[in-house]
Each structure stands twice: as C-alpha cells, then as structure tokens.
Amino acid sequence: MLSQESIENYFLNLQDEICKGLENADGKGKFQEDLWKRPEGGGGRTRIIANGNVIEKGGVNFSAVSGPCPDFLRKEAGLKENEQADFYATGVSLVIHPVNPMAPIIHMNVRYLKAGNLEWFGGGIDLTPHYIFEEDAKFFHTHLKKVCDGHNASYYPEFKKWADDYFFIQHRNETRGIGGIFFDRLSATDSIKIEDRFNFVQGVGNSFLQAYLPLIEKYKNKPFTEANKQWQLLRRGRYVEFNLVYDRGTKFGLLTNGRTESILMSLPPTANWEYANQPEKGSEEEKTLGLLKKGIEWGELEKEN
C-alpha cells in the first residue's frame, strides 16, 4: 500500500541527493536552506545556490502542502459543487541557471497530488540551452528514452510530445528549449497500479544527475564572449516569459497561497529584453532559433546530417 509518508520521504531524500551532487560538481557554491510553513497546512524546504563556479543561480525545492481544495483544483479533481474535500501535494521542483552561456538551463519537477478520492503523479524534466548543440540534445533525449522505456514503451513518445506542446511560448511561436518529457495525472488504471506510477517518477528523479552533470562538466570551462553572455540574457528572458505566463507549477503555487520566494526561485538572476533582436545570418544564435520548434526527433539528427 503506497503511503503519503513513503512518497514524502522519497522526495526529501531526492532533494538531499541532488543538492549534494550539484555542490560537488560546482566545487564552490553551497545550498542555503530555508524552512517555511504554510498557514493552511504543510510547508517546505527551499534550497538556493548562487554565485558558484558553475551555477550562477539555482534552486532545489521540496514541499508538502495540504488544506481545503481551492476552486481550480476542485474542478480538476471532478468534485461536485458542494462536495467538501481536502488536497495534499508533495514533490521536488528544481531549476539550474549556469554561469557559462554554452551550458544549458535545466528544470525538473516530480510531484504527487491527492484531491478528494483521486490521486496522481505528475512532473517532467526539460532542457533549455542558450545555444543548441545537437549532440547534447541527442544525449539528453536518449537518456530520457532509456528511463521511460524501462517502465513503459509508450511513455517516451507520448511524454516527449506532451513536453513539446507544453514548453511552447505561444506568443513567440517557439519552444522554450529542446523539450524533454512532461506528464500529468498519472493515476492508477485497470492495468497500471499507482505503485507503478511512483516507480516511474522515482526513475525520472533518480536520473537527474546522470542527465545534467555531464553537460555542465562539458561546458564549465569553455571560453565565451560578451556577445555570448548577452545572448544568454535574451534567452533567459524567454524563460521568464514562459514561467510567468504559462507554467502550471507557478500558477498552482500562487493560487494555493504558496511561498512566493520559493515559487519564483525558478527565475534567472539576470535577464534582458532587446527590442526586435535579429541574430546575424549564419550565426550560432540563428541556428538555435531555427531549432526551437516542436516535433524534432533529436536521435534522428545524426542520420540526417
């Protein structure tokens, strides 16, 4: 029998493991912990790292909150108009903004939610490079496919498409990055137990360091120019636009009276918006913009080139 305590303990341990791995990779930056409580019920453990050798700003957050179902969640859970119900949500959410513009931003969220008599898992992991290097995209997606295939052969194609559609900045007509996987409302079915869903979520969470540490190690000492840094600021601006306009996790936190500082830790330390920026023809910046679109099968690029 899957218990809330076992789920919560897993997420607490995952936060510890990821923070330790990132500190070791950075070599300088250390996570600062901030414990908080939510008046309506529950609380969390926010951990922030800044001004490191590799990580300019990052956060790895744990939360476990509960209370009466807010209106938007009542609808999502299919509760009747006058039906009284509580909700419980727990998980780990993280975003890492690297110093070097050649290294990518990464985001991961793994979570469990119970509302009334319904319970499900959700989450995902995606990569947002400032500069898209196809070999890195192939590495990242191959890694995610392996994780997914270890649980269900349908997961990777389904969740990759979901990520392409979800991490899309509609008003820019471009994806936030190279996507990854995104999933929600993974509940028990006639053929899949809720424990199986939890095993998959654990597989995603446990794979984070394997997916990201090779990339930051690869680029942490690469030289870059001031022009590269300015491009990084512009791409961070796109990241901000998505998180504040479209991101469901941001909206969920704010609508459930979550801790604002912890919710907005996903935003970069600095960003820029330049009017009608147009990259130089044939530049790496132009190439990156050309790859910010849905439906790219990154594992197939090597065959095409």
**Which of the residues are catalytic?**
107
Rounded Cα distance, 100 and 224, in Å: 7
Give buried/exposed letters for 187-201 (b at 16+ CB in 10 A, else e).
eeeeeeebeebbebb
Rounded distance between C-alpha atoms, residue 235 and residue 272, angstroms: 8
Instruction: For 227, list phi and psi in degrees, rounded to 5.
Output: -65, -40
Q: CA angle 263-267-270, nearest 5°?
A: 150
Of 22, 41, 186, the closest CA to residue 112 belongs to 186
Burial class (CB in 10 A: 0-12, 13-18, 19+), 136: buried
- Gap between the Cα atoms of 298 and 137, Å rounded: 6
Cα–Cα distance for residue pair 113/76, rounded to 1 Å: 11
